Amino acid sequence: MTAKSTKQDKTAADTAAKAAETMASAGQEALRNFAKAGTESYEQAFSGLRGKTDEMTKGYEDLAASGKETMEAWNAAGTAYGKGMEAIGGELMNFAKRMMESNVEATKAVLGAKSLNEAMDLQSEFAHNSFEGMMTQGTKVGELATKVAQDTAEPISAQFTASVEKWRTKAA
């Protein structure tokens, strides 16, 4: 081998080494760019997903809160209904007691009558008073029933209105 061929071999080896370094450097740069692009794509894709997940979680929390508010409204309505029915029941029991006492008094009066005409007059007066008492009691119970219905419906109506308003503003 001559000095010229050794010099050529060395130049060729240097050229090949430089080419290999350039290719390795280019390959590393390509891998870095690929990894960077992949990371950016991943972050971009999943950042939107993270936002959607947060929205879904917030929506679930709102739904759970709305469900709790609904249950509280129904509970308040049930309580109002129970109290109202108790008041109506008490009123009817008092009326029944007054009617029983009135029946006993009327029976004693009729049995103590001196004549048939007096007994008929007492019976007629009792029937008239009983009818008036029943009409008055019917009006009173009707008013109580109306109040019970209003008191029962109020918490449900208020909660429904609040829910509709909340969901309407979210939809807008």
Residue 65's pLDDT is 83
Identify how many contiguous H helices and E strands the chain contains and give both numbers.
2, 0
Q: Is the separation of the CB atoms in 77 and 134 below 8 Å?
A: no
Helix (H, G, I), strand (E, B) or coil at 5: helix
Q: Break the chain into its structural domains and give their ranges.
A: 7-171
Residue 41's pLDDT is 78
Residue 7's pLDDT is 66
pTM score:
0.61
Crossing angle for the helix pair 3-111 and 116-171, nearest 10 degrees? Answer: 170
Residue 171's pLDDT is 72
Q: Is the separation of the CB atoms in 162 and 65 below 8 Å?
A: no
Determine how many CB atoms are found less than 10 A away from the CB of residue 78: 12
Q: Is the separation of the CB atoms in 98 and 133 below 8 Å?
A: yes
Positions in the chain whose pLDDT score sits under 70 = 1-10, 13, 48, 172
Secondary-structure percent of the chain, ordered helix, strand, coil, rounded to 5: 95, 0, 5
End-to-end CA distance of the chain: 88
